[in-house]
Amino acid sequence: MERPHLLHMITPDANVSPFDVNMAYDAGFDAVIPYTHVAVKDVRGLVQDMIFSRSVNDVKRTALFICGRDASLALDMLDKARDAMVPPFEISCFPDPAGSFTTAAAMVACVEKALRDKKKRELKGCTVAVFGATGVVGGNVPLALGSALAARLLGGDRVAVVFFGDGAVQSGIFAESVNLATLWRLPVILVCENNGFAEFTPRSAHTTVERVSDVVAPYGLDRETVDGNDVLAVREAFARFLASARAGGGRRGVLAGSVDGPRGGGPVPRRPPGGRVQLPLRRSRDPADSHAAGERPA
Ligand SMILES: [Mg+2]
């Protein structure tokens, strides 16, 4: 009789992610078993209970998924799990804290495909620079400063460009980053894709500043608000910023675009107490497609 496919999921947290549980069942596992509050020191015992309870053939239908939200901790757990194997009693182990490893793998696959399709090349033999990123709102802004500082130290005309939403602008780390970028005169361009909402929160509920580009006014940065639905306007504005940043002299700036929301980052509807904001749906299709069809934004 063929034994079931089992996925043991361990996490240092209070629960495993329902997202991961659903994915595991959808991937075809017959059973998914969570273990919570697992410490690194517990991993060896758990793994050996997983491998020694099944025959050499059946143990192949057993797998370990390492969850949590801490990549370093997940890798420490992976090391302990590998050490606990006694060949041929071995199981597949896969760490993916907060989806970080699968996201990174998907990114590599996309790059590989783009290289193959557009450049007829492979990753093999390429020099690859990997910049860390984070899903935390506003978290990528200071990371761009690191890239900009590296560019400065390496010389040349490299410029760091970071994209973020209008919600990120209200985070403390945004103010800290703008201050440091200005102080150190870093070659960085901050691009806000302003759709008038931070997740589901309208702009009027989290700031009184109408234009994102005005937030950086005291720092004396170059700044501009353009209609994000106008492909040519965005291209021309960005070209100005890029040329300025490449020319050196510490000029860098903030380009704030309005994509789906009120044009030009202009006034947004105020939310009535306890009520809802109804924003007009302005865009029915991708601005790049509209541009290709010869339409100008309304
Ligand atoms: Mg937004």
Rounded to the nearest whole angstrom, what is the distance from the C-alpha of residue 295 to the centroid of ligand 1? 25
- Output the CA 264–ligand 1 centroid distance in Å: 14
pLDDT tens digit string along 139-169? 999 999 999 999 889 888 888 999 998 899 9
* Share above pLDDT 90 across residues of the chain, in percent, rounded to a whole number: 48
CA of 98 to the centre of ligand 1 (A): 22
Measure 163 CA to ligand 1 centroid, in angstroms.
Answer: 11
How much is the pLDDT for 229?
81
Say if residue 256's pLDDT is above 80: no
* Tokens describing residue 98: 């907060």
131-292 placed in CATH 3.30.980.10: no
Q: For residue 168, report the distance from its CA to the centre of ligand 1, in Å.
A: 8
Sheet of 253-258: strands edge to edge?
160-165, 188-194, 253-258, 222-227
Residue 177 Cα to ligand 1 middle (Å): 19
Selection from 258, 224, 227, 264 nearest residue 241 by Cα? 224
Reported pTM: 0.61
CA of 286 to the centre of ligand 1 (A): 16
Q: Determine the pLDDT at residue 11.
A: 98
Ligand 1 centre distance from Cα of residue 39 (Å): 38
- Minimum mean pLDDT among 37-41, 130-134, 153-157: which range? 130-134
Q: How far is the CA of 225 from the centre of ligand 1 (A)?
A: 15
Tell me what pLDDT residue 56 has.
Answer: 93
Q: Where are the CATH 3.40.50.970 domain residues in the chain?
A: 131-292
105-129 pLDDT per residue, tens: 898 999 999 999 999 999 999 888 7
**CATH for the 6-95 domain, from 3.40.50.10280, 3.30.1310.10, 3.40.50.150, 3.40.50.11440:** 3.40.50.10280
Q: Which of 71-80, 202-211, 249-258 has the highest mean pLDDT?
A: 71-80
Distance 75 CA to ligand 1 centre (A): 33
Query: How far is ligand 1, taken at its centre, from the CA of residue 201, in Å?
Result: 9
**Better-scored residue on pLDDT, 297 or 132:** 132
Cα 257 to averaged position of ligand 1 atoms, centre (Å): 11
pLDDT at site 54:
95
- Tell me whether the omega of the peptide bond preceding residue 88 falls within 30 degrees of 0, making it cis: yes
The half-sphere exposure of 129 on its side-chain side, counting CA atoms within 13 A, is 4
* Cα–ligand 1 centroid distance for 256 (angstroms): 11
Higher pLDDT, 25 or 238: 25
Q: In the structure, what pLDDT confidence band is assigned to residue 250 with cuts at 50, 70 and 90? A: very low
Q: Residue 188 corresponds to which tokens in the numbers above? A: 């960085």
Q: Where in the chain is the domain with CATH 3.40.50.10280?
A: 6-95
- pLDDT score at 29: 97
Tokens for 298?
Answer: 């309304």
Give the per-residue pLDDT at 47: 98
The Å distance, Cα 85 to ligand 1 centre, comes to 47
List, in sequence order, every residue forming a beta bridge with 224; answer none if it has no partner: 255
